[in-house]
């Protein structure tokens, strides 16, 4: 598959490789990460990344080989009206109306970037809040609202999202993170796919020991 293509399955106009559709330099998406949308996946940048105002200089960073379901939303700092203020109303945004010389970004809490690791699965209409980091291999449940960091290979769900389980035992997670298959060049990766698609721990261990020998 050409990594520069927009539609990885030409017969399916609802699935796109995000990296090849993004124009905003503050949205960084890795190779082969796809987004599926029931209507138009090409509107991800405007419909799914919200309150992402340039004045904040905050970023959405998504790794390689992520799977993002329809309606998944990334809510940025511009939607977090400052909690410590006596008012909820963002006077600074409309400062010309009030003739006040107040910095616009003083209207909201700035919690930082949203960072999504590699091979992360984000379920239908899940919401990821500003400042959250999601580790490699994690799974975010349908309509979960993620307000805090998610560990590599952790499964979370609910409102707010809570820990459900770890996908694998610690030793398997360690092997997968050591392999970091998402960083391999495509020719090296292709023959590994049959092992990665199964759950044979012994085969995975052999693979890691062959490709990533310990010092």
What letter would DSSP give residue 171? H
pTM comes to 0.92
148/59 same-domain check: yes
H or E stretch at 36: strand 34-36
Of 14, 26, 36, 81, the catalytic one is 81
pLDDT tens string 69-111: 999 999 999 888 888 888 888 887 777 787 767 776 677 888 9
> For tokens 């399916």, what's the residue?
12
SS3 content of the chain, % helix, strand, coil (to 5): 30, 20, 50
Whose CA is closest to 72, among 40, 48, 50? 48
Whether 14 is a known active-site residue: answer no
Same domain, 189 and 203: yes
Q: What is the pLDDT of residues 161-201, one digit of tens each?
A: 999 999 999 999 999 999 999 999 999 999 999 999 998 99
- The answer to whether 37 touches 4, Cβ cutoff 8 Å, is no
Structural domain boundaries, residue 197: 168-215
Non-local (6+) Cβ contacts of 64 within 8 A are 30, 31, 32, 33, 118, 119, 182, 183
Same domain, 104 and 185: no
- State percent of the chain over pLDDT 90: 74
Nearest to 138 by CA among 126, 84, 206: 126
Q: How far apart are the first and last CA of the chain?
A: 35
Quote the pLDDT of residue 105: 67
Tell me: do 178 and 86 sit in the same domain. no
| Residue 130, in any domain of the structure | yes
Q: Are residues 90 and 148 in the same domain?
A: yes
* The predicted structure's pLDDT at residue 10: 86
Share of the chain above pLDDT 70, in %: 96
Domain presence at residue 201:
yes
């Amino acid at each position: 598959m050409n990594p520069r293509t927009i539609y990885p399955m030409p017969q399916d106009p609802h699935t796109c490789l995000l990296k090849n559709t993004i124009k905003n330099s503050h949205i960084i998406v890795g190779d082969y990460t796809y987004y599926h949308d029931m209507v138009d996946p090409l509107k991800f940048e405007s419909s799914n990344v919200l309150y992402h105002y340039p004045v904040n200089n905050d970023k959405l960073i998504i790794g390689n080989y992520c799977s993002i379901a329809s309606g998944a939303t990334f809510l940025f700092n511009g939607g977090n009206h400052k909690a410590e203020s006596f008012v909820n109303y963002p006077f600074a945004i409309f400062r010309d109306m009030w003739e006040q010389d107040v910095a616009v970004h003083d209207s909201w809490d700035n919690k930082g970037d949203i960072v999504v690791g590699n091979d992360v699965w984000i379920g239908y209409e899940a919401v990821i809040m500003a400042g959250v980091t999601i580790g490699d291999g994690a799974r975010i449940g349908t309509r979960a609202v993620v307000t805090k960091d998610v560990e590599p290979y952790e499964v979370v769900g609910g409102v707010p999202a809570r820990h459900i389980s770890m996908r694998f035992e610690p030793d398997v997670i360690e092997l997968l993170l050591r392999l970091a298959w998402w960083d391999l060049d495509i020719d090296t990766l292709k023959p590994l796919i049959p092992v990665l698609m199964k759950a044979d721990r012994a085969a995975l261990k052999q693979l890691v020991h062959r490709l990533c020998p310990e010092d």
